[in-house]
Structure 1
Amino acid sequence: MIAILQWTTLAVCGLVALARIPSAVRGENRSLFGIFALMTLAILLSIEAPYVAIDQALGGINLANLLLRFVIFGAIFFLGIRIAKGFGAAGTYRLITGRPGILVLLILSALVVAVFFLMDTEGSSAGLSTVYAKDDRHMLLVEYYGAAGRAYPAFVGVALIPAMVKAIGSRLPVLVKVAALLLGVGGAAIGLSLLFPFIPADWGAMRFVVNYTAVLCYIVGLALIWIGKVRQRKPLAGTASFTEK
C-alpha cells in the first residue's frame, strides 16, 4: 500500500510538472514549474529503489538524504512564496521571506547538516533506516535529524493556513476555494509531521500517509488554480501571482 501511494504521488507530480513544460518554455510562470520539478525530485528521493541507486552514485553514505532535505526546503520555500502572493497574504509573505523566515531556514539548515555529519551514515537506505539501527546513539541522532528536517516545512505550511481559511470563506471562484482547502489541508498535514516522534511504532505507516497527503494536496491545489486560469483565460481575482513570470 505504501509503495502504491509513493509511486502514485510520483506519477501525479511528474505528470503535472511535464504539463507545465510548454508554459515554462514560453517564459510563463517558470517558478511554478520549478516547484513541481523540485517536488517530483523529492518524491523520487523518498522511494527506496531510486534513492539507493542515486545514493550509491554519490558514494553510498546517504548524501542523497541530505540532498532530499534541501530539495524539500527549496520546494516549500518557493511554494510558500507563490501561495502567499497568490492569495494576497502579505503578512505571511513577509514572514517567509523576511528576516524571521530566513533566520529559521538558516538555523534549521545548519542543524540538519551538523546532525548529519555527527552520524556514521554509511549504508544507503531511504529514511536512514540502516543508520537508525546501528545503536542507541544513532537512533537518537536520526530522530533529531528528522525533526530538524520537518521543522521548516511545518513552519511554512502552518504559516499559510490562516490565508487559506480566509480564502475558503471569500467570494473567490469555487475552483480556487477548493484549491485553498487542499492547500490548507496540506499545511496542516505538514504541521502534524512534527508529532512523528510520538507516533507508536505500530502506527509507523501513518508517517507515510501524512507526508504524501501533504504532497498530493499541494500538487492538486496548485494544479486547480492553474486549471482555473486556463479555463477563464484571465487572472483569477486574488490569484494573479500564480500567472506571473
Structure 2
Amino acid sequence: MTVALAVQVAAFGLSVLFALLRLPGALRGQNRGVFVSMVLIALTMGLSLGGIYTVVDGWLGGRNLANLVLRLSLYAVFVILGVKAAAAFGAGWARKLIIGPIGLAVLALAVGLTVYFFVLSDLPVTSVGLQAYEKQVTVQSYASLGRMYPGYVAACLCAPVLMAAANSRLRVLHRTGAGLLGAGLVLVVAFSFLQEVVYLGVFTALVPFTAVILVTVGLTVMWVSHLRQRRRPSQNLLAESYRNVS
C-alpha cells in the first residue's frame, strides 16, 4: 500500500467512524446538519477509493456518474459546514459570502458548470478519478471546478477559524479543534490554487485527503469539548458559541 492510498483509507475510515459517533445525537435531533455533512464526507471518501467507486459506478450504469455524485456531495459538505462554521465562529460576513446572494450565485454557477462539463465529456467506461480521460479539456475544466468551489468556501472561513484557534480566552480543546479545522481549510485553499499552476505529483492525493483528516478530527475535537462543557459547565461562556460545529 502506497502512502497516498494509506492516507485515503485513513480519511475514509475516520469519516465513517466520526459519522457513527454522531449518529446517536442526530437521532435525538442534535446538530443533524453536521451529521449529514459527516455522512457526505464518508461518501466522497469512499468514492475516491477504487474498489468502492467501481462497484457504485457499476450500479449507476458504468459511465462515471459516481464521480458526479462525489463532486456534488463535496459541494454540499462545504455548504453545510461553511454555514455552520460561519455561525459558530461569529463570521456573519463569511456566511453571506457562502449563502448570501454572491454565495448562492457562486454555488449555482459551480453546480451548473460542473454538470455541463460532465455531460460534454466522453466517459464511456468506469475510471476512478476519471484518470483515463484526464487529457480531455472538458474533464480538466470539470476537475478544476471541483477544486475551486471548496477552495472558495474554505477561503471564506480561514480567518475566523484561525483567529479562534489563537484566542486564549477559549478552552484548550476548542482552540485545538479550531486549529486542526483551520489547518485543513488552509490546505483546501492551497490545493485548489497549486493544482492549477504546478504539478504536485504524489501530493495530488496527499494534500486533499490530509485536509479531510484535519477537518474531521478538528470537528470531532470541538464536539468532545462541547460534550465535556455540557457535563461540567465552564465559566468561560464565549466557548459556548462553538456549539454549532460541536
CA distance in 2, matches of 1:96, 1:197: 23
| Correspondence for 1:205 among 194, 202, 213 | 202
What is the CA RMSD across the aligned residues, in angstroms? 1.4
1:50 Cα deviation after fit? 0.4
Q: Which residue of 1 aligns with 2:111?
A: 109
User: Is 2:101 the counterpart of 1:99?
Assistant: yes
Letter of the 1:185 counterpart: A
Equivalent residue letter for 1:193: F
1:130 correspondence with 2:123? no
Q: Contact 2:11–2:210 (CA<8 Å) still a contact in 1?
A: no
> Is the Cα–Cα contact under 8 Å of residues 143 and 197 in structure 1 kept in the other structure?
no
Partner of 1:191: 189
- Corresponding position of 1:175: 173
CA contact (8 A) 2:226 2:240 kept: no
- Mapped contact 2:117–2:142 kept (Cα < 8 A): yes
Q: Which runs of 4+ in 1 moved over 4 A?
A: none
Letter in 2 for 1:67: V
Identity %: 33
Select 2:243's aligned residue among 226, 232, 240: 240
How far, CA to CA, are the matches of 1:191 and 1:63 in structure 2? 26
What is the alpha-carbon distance in structure 2 between the residues aligned to residue 69 and residue 188 of structure 1? 20
Which position in structure 2 is the counterpart of 1:9? 11
The alignment covers a number of residue pairs equal to 236
Q: How does 1:214-233 map to 2 (within 5 A)?
A: 214-233=211-230
Give the aligned residue type for 1:196.
Q
Deviation (angstroms), 1:46: 0.8
In structure 1, the gaps of 5 or more residues are none
Residue 48 (1) aligns with residue 47 (2): no
Aligned mates of 2:242, 2:33 — CA distance in 1? 15
Deviations 1:47-97 (A, max 9, x none): 111001100111111000011000000011101111111111111112111
Structure 2 residue 42 is matched with structure 1 residue 77: no
Matched, 1:149 2:146: yes
